[in-house]
Chain A
Amino acid sequence: MHDEKLVKEIKKNALKIRKLIVESIYRAGSGHPGGSLSIADIIACLYFHEMRYNPENPRWEDRDRLVLSKGHACPALYSALALCGYFPVEELKNLRKTGHFLQGHPCMRKVPGVDISTGSLGHGLSVAVGMALAGKMDKKDYRVFAILGDGEVQEGEIWEAANSASHFKLDNLIAILDRNGLQIDGPTEEIMHIEPIAWRWSAFGWNVIEIDGHNIKEILDTFHNIKKNEKPTIIIAHTIKGKGVSFMEGTLSFHGKAPSKEQYIKAMSELEQEERELDV
């Protein structure tokens, strides 16, 4: 449905986001590269095609909202916001630094474009429900996107929120589950199983769609085809933790650790190589 030109453009933006993630976390000396890289393609599709927003007016009432419930992945969000013009890209080098505004987890009072402060897991979907409810009350056509971690759905409040979203018939709410399979202590299914995850969301009254979270065309098509059937939608996006950097892919070790100098150089050269290939 979406043309090759658009797909290529978003792929390029996703690579820019990935480079900025690696760069900013390297400079910060701490952060969460794994879960940031796994959502880079989804974030790129949202900010470079799907979402309606205005960097000149970050609090524009009719904008689509994004709740990054897995707040530790904020380098992906910050990179997209900077590339969209909410603040200068150079600010990314001050991530997590004292006296600068890019906090280690998103803060809506400090970062333009951040719709709600997050960080402690399990809270974001409830907030997204409130935003979607407000949209319905005000008869506005904005949508609310919420990005959840797969380990995060072990939190009970997620299911309270899931239950209320279908009860209130919030078809303007779209949750995206970053199903990369790994949480800090190990694979989700070993630490605390969440499968059958599609069945669970379906049982809570949601539209459930499973996709490859790195296939740009599939992500775009999925957003485009979401049904308005009085049900909230969850997109279970199968992703790879650390996607795009060979030695980070599918590993636990880069959940919450910055790359060393050598690792940083290798990661950047891999991403640049990928960029060159895309241009051929």
Chain B
Amino acid sequence: MRNLRDAYSSALIELGYKNKDVVVLDADLALSTKTKRFGTVFPDRFFDVGIAEANMMGIAAGLATCGKIVFASTFAVFATGRCYDAIRQSIAYPCLNVKIVATHAGVSVGGDGASHQMLEDIALMRALPNMTVIAPADATEMEDVVPAIADYHGPCYVRIGRADAPVIFEKHGQFKIGKGYILKEGGDIAIIATGTMTAEAIKAGEILRKEGIDAMIVHMPTIKPIDKKIVEKAKETGRIITCEEHTIIGGLGDAVAMAMEDDPVKMRRIGVNDVFGESGEANELLEKYGLTSENIARVAKEMVKF
């Protein structure tokens, strides 16, 4: 298990040494997002703007017009919902080089409850023209995402959870913006997952294998632009399940459905079913909202049976 926020922070520092144009902003959550470590190493390129997230997005835009590669971080709920208009007007519309890296996405934030459990951020950011949307699955991938988005010119939204996550990728260097990955080939059904749910999808694949169902497991770190080629391959199985720690409205499920265009296959979406979260232990909440390998396997079995 490794923490993606730690990976973010280390990758940012490494990037900071390589590129003097990298500037990091935070809005009084620098200890939680772990950007504070960048500020300690590069105090001249780190600004804590206080509890004023929309202002942070505007400042990020202004810095970007002057050639800076800006990483603006806070919790996903504030980074997107609170700042939607600032991001729309000042970052996405002028297509500026701002990387919004949001932590604490999803119900697994736990005890803080619905107010802090961001479940519609992918939908909000996906709807914005020019915006790239990424949800890495583990710390290794997060360490690859940071330099990749710095090299890419344009606005990006990266969402990660709060909790430690199982290590899926042993080696660095495979992440590319817009590319999906087949983690396991299979012909009976395809399970496409993003972010925190990829680890659960892998476990679901193992459960299904023991029961004689051969599932293709796909990790889709970039939700926009979606990898259409991978969706085409997944379609060949005839059945697709999408998994995301996000509302079923407007996220990965919709992106995959759109990619199938007018030639769809049978599909089910695993995500939070149009409700707000609640306080609780992360694991209990994931269980409650069906965001587990067992639930994915159950849905897969139902689909294969019919």
Contact = CB atoms under 8 A, between A and B. Distances in A.
A127 B45 contact: no
A107 B65 CA distance: 13
B59 A133 contact: yes
B236 interface: no
Contacts of B85: 120, 123
B131 to A, nearest CB: 15
Interface string A21-64: 00000000000000000000000000000000000000001000
B44 A127 contact: no
A126 interface: yes
Given A116-B65, A127-B65, A164 B49 contact: yes
B62 A131 contact: yes
Contacts of B49: 160, 164
Interface residues of B, number: 30
Interface string A84-122: 000000000000000000000001110000011111100
Given A133-B47, A160-B55, A164-B49, A123 B62 contact: no
Interface stretch (A134-142, A183-191, A222-230): A134-142
B90 to A, nearest CB: 5
B67 A125 contact: no
A130 to B, nearest CB: 2
A247 interface: no
B93 interface: yes
A129 B50 CA distance: 14
Interface in B182-206: none
Interface in B72-97: 85-86, 88-90, 93-95
Contact of B94 (A108, A120, A132): A108
B216 interface: no
A161 B60 CA distance: 12
B127 interface: no
Nearest to A134: B66
B59 A164 contact: yes
A123 B95 CA distance: 16
Interface of B is mostly: helix
Interface string B46-61: 0101101011111111
Contacts of B62: 116, 126-134, 144
Contact of A130 (B50, B65, B94): B65
A210 interface: no
B68 interface: yes
A251 interface: no
B58 A115 contact: no
Contacts of B24: none
A212 to B, nearest CB: 30
B63 A130 contact: yes
A133 B62 CA distance: 8
A126 B94 contact: no
B86 A109 contact: no
B64 interface: yes
Nearest to B88: A120
A163 interface: yes
B146 interface: no
A126 B65 contact: no
Contact of A163 (B52, B64, B66, B89): B52
Contact of A160 (B45, B52, B88): B52
A164 B52 contact: yes
Nearest to B70: A130
Given A123-B86, A130-B63, A157 B58 contact: yes
Contact of B54 (A118, A160, A167): A160
A199 interface: no
Contacts of B59: 126-127, 129-130, 133, 161, 164
B55 A126 contact: yes
A109 to B, nearest CB: 6
A164 B27 CA distance: 12
B86 A126 contact: yes
A129 B59 CA distance: 6
A135 B59 CA distance: 12
B67 A127 contact: no
B50 A164 contact: yes
A123 B89 contact: yes
Given A133-B47, A157-B54, A126 B66 contact: no
B63 A133 contact: yes
Contacts of B60: 130
B44 A130 contact: no
Nearest to B45: A137
Contact of A126 (B23, B57, B88): B57
B80 to A, nearest CB: 16
Interface in B243-294: none
Nearest to A118: B89
9 interchain residue pairs of minimum CB distance: A130-B62, A126-B58, A134-B66, A160-B55, A160-B52, A130-B59, A127-B62, A131-B62, A117-B94
27 contacts: A65-B65, A108-B65, A116-B62, A120-B89, A124-B58, A126-B59, A127-B58, A127-B59, A129-B58, A130-B58, A130-B62, A130-B65, A130-B66, A131-B62, A132-B62, A133-B47, A133-B62, A133-B63, A134-B63, A135-B66, A137-B23, A137-B68, A138-B66, A157-B55, A164-B49, A164-B52, A167-B50
Interface of B: 23, 44-45, 47, 49-50, 52, 54-68, 85-86, 88-90, 93-95
